[in-house]
Structure 1
């Protein structure tokens, strides 16, 4: 697999880089190591049949049908729009799985059924967004009275379950807590997600979330994508024991292939040396058209992109057994073995991340996507050495969605201009989390919670301490870069010269992380 995914460039060779809602085709130094995502594994075509097989042959518990009885209260929860990325082509996996589960509940005589979208502290999903995830049939039957977004600030519908031995408070959605059976339907796009994290983030509250979404936990996680070496996941495991002691939970987890882009953008799935004449024409025409298109139109067009993901596995039952198998299947699809770290990590920054679906990629989300997620896409040790440099391509402009990210604007303008030190920034968190205006916008509009921008910064704090520089090539707003603590360069050669100077080396080893699709490196 590694031979297929790793390539060293020749003199004068050009590589494709995502550049927000456009693409760049840039010459890179000879010998640049380029690492690509593994090819998609074979997808399961008969999703409903596979779902039936999984829920009737679960791990660690009786079949779902054997757990049902008339008169019981059942809650089914699903991931929100932050997964997968880009959103799936219809029918979404959540729809197909829900239809099987709901038929099973009906056959068991269960009528007291609620469907809750596990938004956590994310923004509420709109009706059209929910329809895309669950399909018209489910939406028409359940929405809005029995199909709705979780509300982490609805004090009357939150239930305290207990505390861990370290005093970590576990509280979740009241309807879910009071149910005889809680079914969670998850799509695992990365090894960071799923398992205990699904409920303890998606159906939780700020009071619970802050135990694992904090500077200490993230600074003591060697990799967010490798749960055994992640303090984030160690906290979740402790809290998960309290959850399991109090709840009857049936987990349904799925894994996806790397088939990320529709046919119109098929060239994004290929290695540059394998592009045919049509792919090259498509790439250059797309770049030209996008360059002439207004930014708002480009953004809307890209947000309409739907991924042809295929399901590679589905497993159901008790959390520990299910998630162990899920992680095994994620790694089977995504891991690329890599020999040695590099001085410089090079990457383009795509238009989408977990928190700007149907929205805008603001500067804090760029920190989260690059210093948070991109840097952490490894098992063992990072792809770039300690003290190394990350070079990114992105226009880096001051863009905020006022409806979705109001607290981000204040965080950027007030907090980051005072300090960039995560431990000092954390002192402002409670103020934002308890801000009545932000709470109202979270509950009654479509805003992320007041605490959410803090998590975006925390997610990147380890990488920003580990690296000597983050350089953004072709950034358009120097003030934004300065506020984030990033350096800028007008061209890739200039950025490489800056890296050489920072590292006090005349030559540097460079690795391009070619993404998306999403993949993980296992560095030896």
Structure 2
């Protein structure tokens, strides 16, 4: 287990601390008394085979996978893709997990095997994605025969499996007709539920349980319906913080522990991006890869696995803070959430700051009611024309009209969800489903409830205004703006990236 995270209180001996804004890295001085929440240490990955085999052979609940397999069994391996982890894994542990399941299936003489990628509203996987994640061995054995498919939430061949409050739930036909389903996933946050469940159903069902009025009880019911269609065995790898390559080695260590190589890497990264803003950022950050320590691998029934894996992740990443802050400060690194985009789009930046970072806590918010979130990001209109066309249109055409989620739902959601061009991009061009940006905005507004302000340091003022936020040129300026609501001597907490801090308020 790596060194746990902790909270540092800035004093007169504390060095300037690393901050990230889009693609720019800086050292920023923080005032005396500022609390800095550091995530657990990032450490390199190790061989996960032993942990995976133990999870398959000694599950936390139910029979071992080998006892569920045999001749004539119709087996489907579901690979959960909930859009993470970012930066992507240098060697994706799901590859080894799938390979070990296939080896058990071969040993048991199972000859009807397919792989389904549970992408939900996220972009469907191309052949390149399949090969990168699952490896040449699996790809060459299954792709040519059409035995690896990405789930399509708009497909005409989805099958009904039951009703929830009069709404018919439809799911992937192959998975529904299987005798045994093995779900393979990664745990890199503390969210509830099985990440593959909503990745396998229709768009209408996803919208019903995760849209404007997100319904946890309905989501649980959908999970039960999906699980009832076949015998399901889940296996989840719990991963640690991202350990970056040598050119980004300074991101792996606390500032007072930087070695000469880390100092040189930071100086080179800063000068490279400053000298060649677009090209330099693309070269350094466009496709960063990281090693992730495998903290544990848990196998068994889906409910038990996802409860157990959540507790493992919590134990490794919880950082105790004294109280909710008046001002919460967050760095926002585009390469940490937008694939191939070193800066990141404004909507995804807001989601990262307000939902993924400020919202990552154990029940008690990290910023008090009436407090302020200060985030560092340029908020450039940096949308991918191919994968984020609905997001670009949402930002340009919808938000200037209204910020209210209910009005957006009533006026704009349905037309976007059924737009032929957006659906074509989703089905054929590996773009996100148009509903994804609507759901992101609903979660952003939920996370903003109770906040007095959201201020973007270095952010484009017009982009910030479109989202109902404000911009400031420097951190000091942001504090001055915030002082109007939190007073001249606020309690400040800085969430130190690029890893994830799980805040536990004592």
Q: TM-score, normalised by structure 1?
A: 0.91
Deviations 1:436-489 (A, max 9, x none): 2211111111211121110110121122222111111112x3221111111011
Deviation at 1:317, TM superposition (A): 1.3
Aligned residue number for residue 223 of structure 2: 240
Distance 2:272 2:387 in 1: 29
Any idea what SS the aligned residue of 1:175 has? helix
Aligned residue number for residue 485 of structure 1: 468
For 1:3-152, list aligned pairs within 5 A.
5-11=6-12, 13-40=15-42, 45-80=46-81, 82-90=83-91, 92-144=92-144, 145-152=146-153
Deviation at 1:344, TM superposition (A): 0.2
Matched, 1:453 2:437: yes
Distance 1:42 1:24 in 2: 25
Distance 2:395 2:47 in 1: 47
Deviation at 1:353, TM superposition (A): 4.5
Deviations 1:352-406 (A, max 9, x none): 344x223472111112111221121111211111111111111111111010011
Aligned residue number for residue 515 of structure 1: 497
Return closer, same or farther for 1:300/1:146 CA change in 2, 3 Å cut-off: farther
Question: Aligned residue pairs: how many?
Answer: 501
For 1:310-389, list aligned pairs within 5 A.
310-354=293-337, 356-359=338-341, 361-389=344-372
Any idea what SS the aligned residue of 1:260 has? strand
- Assess if the C-alpha contact under 8 Å between 1:58 and 1:316 holds in 2: yes
Distance 1:80 1:3 in 2: 27
- Assess if the C-alpha contact under 8 Å between 2:11 and 2:33 holds in 1: yes
The more displaced of 248-257 and 169-178 is: 169-178
- Assess if the C-alpha contact under 8 Å between 1:260 and 1:517 holds in 2: no
Matched, 1:419 2:402: yes
The more displaced of 4-13 and 446-455 is: 4-13
Any idea what SS the aligned residue of 1:466 has? coil
- Structure 1 runs (4+) deviating above 3 angstroms are 1-4, 40-43, 166-169
Deviation at 1:508, TM superposition (A): 1.0
- Assess if the C-alpha contact under 8 Å between 2:78 and 2:115 holds in 1: yes
Distance 2:129 2:179 in 1: 29
Distance 1:207 1:264 in 2: 44
Aligned residue number for residue 183 of structure 1: 182
The more displaced of 402-411 and 294-303 is: 294-303
Deviation at 1:349, TM superposition (A): 0.5
- Assess if the C-alpha contact under 8 Å between 1:40 and 1:333 holds in 2: no
Aligned residue number for residue 212 of structure 1: 209
Give the alignment's Cα RMSD to 1 decimal.
Answer: 2.1
- Assess if the C-alpha contact under 8 Å between 1:81 and 1:357 holds in 2: no
Deviations 1:266-285 (A, max 9, x none): 22122223223442332122
For 1:156-171, list aligned pairs within 5 A.
156=157, 158-164=158-164, 166-167=165-166, 169-171=168-170
Return closer, same or farther for 1:367/1:519 CA change in 2, 3 Å cut-off: same
Aligned residue number for residue 432 of structure 1: 416
Distance 2:159 2:283 in 1: 39
Aligned residue number for residue 498 of structure 1: 481
Return closer, same or farther for 1:176/1:300 CA change in 2, 3 Å cut-off: farther
Distance 1:471 1:296 in 2: 28
Deviations 1:239-297 (A, max 9, x none): 22222222211101110122432233222122223223442332122211121124155
- Assess if the C-alpha contact under 8 Å between 1:41 and 1:312 holds in 2: no
- Assess if the C-alpha contact under 8 Å between 2:328 and 2:494 holds in 1: yes
Return closer, same or farther for 1:472/1:61 CA change in 2, 3 Å cut-off: same
Distance 2:100 2:5 in 1: 38
- Assess if the C-alpha contact under 8 Å between 2:239 and 2:294 holds in 1: yes
- Assess if the C-alpha contact under 8 Å between 2:374 and 2:457 holds in 1: yes
Segments of structure 2 that go 5 or more residues without pairing to the other structure are none
Distance 1:300 1:117 in 2: 30
Q: TM-score, normalised by structure 2?
A: 0.94
Any idea what SS the aligned residue of 1:215 has? coil
Return closer, same or farther for 1:42/1:294 CA change in 2, 3 Å cut-off: closer
Deviations 1:183-212 (A, max 9, x none): 11010000116x43x232211221110122
Segments of structure 1 that go 5 or more residues without pairing to the other structure are 218-230
Deviation at 1:2, TM superposition (A): 11
Distance 1:171 1:4 in 2: 42
- Assess if the C-alpha contact under 8 Å between 1:200 and 1:209 holds in 2: no
